[in-house]
Amino acid sequence: AETHYHEFVVQAKPVKRLCRTHNTITVNGQFPGPNLEVRNGDSLAIKVTNAAKYNVTIHWHGLRQLRNPWADGPEYITQCPIQPGATYTYRFTIQDQEGTLWWHAHSRWLRATVYGALIIYPKLGSPYPFSMPKREVPLLLGEWFDRNPLDVQKLAAFTGGAPNASDAYTINGQPGDLYRCSKQETVRIPVGSGESILLRIINSALNQELFFSIANHRLTVVSADASYTKPFTTRVLMIGPGQTTDVLLTADQPPAHYYVAASVYQTARNAPFDNTTTTAILEYKSAPCSSKKGQFPPPALPLLPAFNDTATATAYTAQIKSPSQVKVPTQIHENLFFIVGLGLNNCTVPNNPRCQGPNNTRFAASMNNVSFVFPRTNSLMQAYYNGVPGVFTTDFPPVPPVQFDYTGNVPRGLWTPRRGTKLYKLKYGSNVQIVLQDTSIVTTEDHPMHLHGYHFYVIGSGFGNFNPRTDPAKFNLVDPPLRNTIGTPPGGWVAIRFVADNPGVWLMHCHLDAHLVLGLAMAFLVENGKGPLQSVIPPPADLPRC
């Protein structure tokens, strides 16, 4: 195994998109940031220097960081932010993980432009469970704001209204030729006729689940969230923010140019192939020109589902399974039921500019009716480790034992979340089941839920209210997929299981950043176990202080 040293200098740099130049926060002047390539078992030391004017942290999304929460990165959870002018070196080892993950800023909305791929190859000599093509192409799907994304976030936080939508979706930072001033830079993927390539698709968009498709081609899914899957073939993927999907693509169509496209799922604004569709072009090297001028005929467009095509999204996600039988914990020690969703806080002063929700309210989001509040003076992990009282409480509430109609007539008491920094304590080594239930307060919506420090088996999901008497009988305990981010279906529920074998403080949140800033988050405090292999390692000397 090797140790990889990298330097990340977080700095502003002019970036031109959609005809305009913005001073953009980048890593080493690159947007998107650098893609890292390592092997399972390798160690990394990434020295992050903050040369920008905002606080920053970096999160290694999906990496387990066993006993090493200090390297996880969410600000005020496992570390204080790296302040302007300061430096912090993230040190960690890849332990039994391979596939596609990614890294991103975990500080306000900086991840809009501060992100890159983290590609983990198998150990030397260890095979892939599929025939690995010679070539691979990472495709990072993102969003571009034609203004400072932090201003968009600030405005939404101030008004308590919905944030402004981004101005473009992107593939590897480029909107593609359906957007203004973007034709020249459209990402091109050259292929030889008959060649196979691996696409590593990452949804790094801030606030948007996306459909993804390539005209005329079938895609074979082989891995999701850096866990191998039973291969299956599809024409369309649905990928939520935070999720990754590896697919095999064979250039088996007549030599020509084909659009690679991603379009929105679950939003009220969209028509196929308008400027909410980002494109790249798959270019067969032997494609014939159509005229003497050397012009290629326009690329074929893929069939993308409509923005509200929940049936396609659901059917696609249900196909993702582990390659063979897996060991799902069966004896459950912690059986948790969390409701997730939006809420409204009443405002007392009429026409308060801070209250732009319906009927003089502010939007909020919560889990079990608690809007998560990030501390400002300490990180939860440092407070836990040093025994500092008063930074958090461990009274994250259970929901009432009564079965409400969460997706219909939600009890009024659950409309107005309380604010708090409340953790849920888990015993080291306990088997945990969580059912996440969406509510219909304000609106039903898919919430891509991400758990730090863990991956989990997704054992079931459905629409409507979870029924604790009948639904568990339908759980897949044989070959459920292992993931780090899973959508709670709009007006539905999803059930996950994991063993609490990683001590520390671990954030769980909606990976739509618009919901994260409204409080759709909570954190687990997984207690230290007995031996050195069950306890958190000591904090590094350069860990930032608040």
The residues that touch ligand C2O, with contacts defined as CB under 6 A, are: 59, 61, 74, 104, 106, 242, 450, 452, 507, 509, 511
SS3 211: strand
> Least distance (Å) from ligand C2O to the CB of residue 237?
19
Omega into 163 within 30° of 0, i.e. cis? no
Q: How far is the CB of 363 from ligand C2O (least distance, A)?
A: 20
Residue (of 320, 373, 372) closest to 482 by Cα position: 320
Report how far Cα 456 is from the mean position of its chain's Cα atoms: 14
Query: HEC string of 353-380?
Result: CCCCECCCEEEEEEECCEEECCCCCCCH
CB of 354 to ligand C2O, least distance (A): 26
Q: How far is the CB of 111 from ligand C2O (least distance, A)?
A: 8
Q: Please report, as a single letter, which amino acid is at residue 417.
A: P
When the beta carbons of 362 and 511 are compared against ligand C2O, the nearer one is 511
- Residue 365 or 507 with smaller CB distance to ligand C2O: 507
Chain residue at closest Cβ approach to ligand C2O: 61
Nearer to ligand C2O, 58 or 410 (CB): 58
Q: How far is the CB of 53 from ligand C2O (least distance, A)?
A: 23
Residue 86: phi and psi, rounded to 5, are -95, 170
- Supply the minimum distance, in Å, between the C-beta of residue 537 and ligand C2O: 21
Minimum distance from CB of 357 to ligand C2O (Å)?
25
Is the Cβ of residue 215 or residue 340 nearer to ligand C2O in the bound state? 340
User: How many degrees, rounded to 5, is the angle at CA 138 between CA 191 and CA 287?
Assistant: 15
Residue whose entry in the numeric block shows the structure tokens 């993950």: 101
Q: How far is the CB of 182 from ligand C2O (least distance, A)?
A: 27
Q: How far is the CB of 484 from ligand C2O (least distance, A)?
A: 8
CB nearer ligand C2O, residue 258 or residue 424 = 424
Residue 106 or 362 with smaller CB distance to ligand C2O: 106
Nearer to ligand C2O, 186 or 488 (CB): 488
**CB of 331 closer than 8 Å to CB of 290:** no
Dihedrals φ, ψ of 114, to 5°? -105, 90
Between residues 76 and 259, which has the closer beta carbon with respect to ligand C2O?
76
Nearer to ligand C2O, 200 or 509 (CB): 509
Tokens of 335: 């059986």
* Dihedral angle, C-alpha 305, 319, 229, 32, nearest 10 °: 20
- SS3 for 507? strand
Give SS3 for 131.
Answer: coil
Q: How far apart are CA 415 and CA 231, in angstroms?
A: 42
Q: Compute the distance between CA of residue 534 and CA of residue 530 in angstroms, rounded to an integer.
A: 6
Residues 208, 185: contact at Cβ < 8 Å? no
Contact present, 527 and 54 (Cβ < 8 Å): no
